[in-house]
Amino acid sequence: MPPYGSLSFLLLFPICRHFDLVEPGRLLIPLILCMLAAYAAAYGEHRQRISQNPMVDRVEAWCAGKPKGVAPGTALLLSSLYRGLWQIVLYCLCFILIFSLVDTLHNRQALPALRAVTWSALYVAALMGAVLSLRTRQAYAVLTGSLGVLAMLLWIDS
């Protein structure tokens, strides 16, 4: 399952606005934390789907006219409510944890500036992540080739 891209955006955007994080180097730590939250959400959704698999059997039992079955509408409502509640709790928990950590670092002036990190570098890293998310051999070949060309350009430039 791909990570929740919208979760990481919804976590990162208000944190960046609150702490006025506009430099790419200062944004890196909150960005990584929000990406980890997105991966945790993907893992949680996978576990949630596994836990709701027995609901399919109950819907099939309802279709067969058995007494312990659940109507499809009821099953859909229950799973939607469960998923909605789970996502709200996850967002609140992740936001509180990330906000608290960034707040602590910000108050102690311990949030590293990392001046070497540029917007271009973050963009290239995001493109690499997009290519890797395809999970095909061709995508890995493109990534390897791109890294090779980038290494050659850096080597020639120095």
Which pLDDT band, with edges at 50, 70 and 90, does 6 fall under?
Answer: confident
- Both tokens of 42, joined, read 């993907």
Task: Say what the pTM is.
Answer: 0.74
Pair 79, 55: CB distance under 8 Å: yes
- Give the model's pLDDT for residue 111: 85
Specify the higher pLDDT residue, 154 or 7.
Answer: 7
